[in-house]
Amino acid sequence: MTLRVLVVDDEPLARGGVRARLATQPDVQVIGECADGESALAAMGTQRPDLVFIDVQMPGLNGLDALERLPPTERPLAILLTAHAQFALRAFAAHALDYLLKPIDDERFADALDRARQALALRRPDASASRVAPVYASRFEVRLGQRVQLVDAAQIDWVEAQGDYAGLHAGGRLHLLREPLHRLAARLDPAQFARIHRSAIVRLDRVAELQALSNRDSLLRLHDGTPLRASRTYVDALRAALLAVGTPA
């Protein structure tokens, strides 16, 4: 499956940085570049990219305005690029897949691209399928011996990687889901869940406080008192996501 990508940024160096990272990915085809929102809007309508890396702040029509002018069912998957976290609310309202703060961290870029791959696989089962809005999982089947138990996404406090399994922490109990964390991440609603580490995901409304650490990582504390560590490569996006759901950080 080839990921057809459009790169939009008014700064040539920024477009070059995104393009250089994408050039190392054999399943990615950059189908075009745009330097402003108007040309990006036209390109999204005619070229129909699967994914757009789009700068928020550009002269004239900005990136979010360009996305919002398209009907939701016609919008490509979008990864927003910006130097400021203040656009988080509109980013989530526009159903952006991810939100990368400049200067872009390579690990965060790779994670966002992997999320796009998984989301595209859910959105487009085959190359001829029409574009539809992503549908996120609302419950999960976990096995308890010979029994199958359903765990609602709303019950999950946080998730951790456990080899080929994902450990769902819900109400003080641990449920093992036979699915790797990177695949599960694409099935979780980004307005409700955020990656905080390569091996952990948290439900945003469970976060009670966020404390900066000396190495630029952060310590999260959930409402039930559970402490979790957030890697510095995910902290900025986490803060933006917390602001979007009205949670103090």
pLDDT digits (tens, 9 = 90+) for 170-219: 999 999 999 999 889 888 988 899 999 989 999 999 999 999 998 889 99
Q: CATH 3.40.50.2300 occupies which residues in the chain? A: 3-123
Q: Distance between CA 6 and CA 187 in Å, rounded?
A: 23
pTM of the model: 0.65
**CATH, range 3-123:** 3.40.50.2300
**CATH number of the domain at 139-244, out of 3.30.70.3400, 3.90.76.10, 1.10.645.10, 2.40.50.1020?**
2.40.50.1020
Spatial neighbors of 102 by CB under 8 A, at least 6 apart, are 14, 81, 82, 83
**C-beta of residue 153 within 8 angstroms of C-beta of residue 206:** no
Predicted local distance difference test score (pLDDT) of residue 14: 95
| Alpha carbon separation from 244 to 48, 190, 238 (Å, rounded) | 28, 11, 10
Q: CATH 2.40.50.1020 occupies which residues in the chain? A: 139-244
Which amino acid does the sequence have at 111?
D
Spans of the chain, pLDDT less than 50: 127-130, 247-249
Q: Provide the pairing of β-strand 77-82 with 51-55.
A: parallel
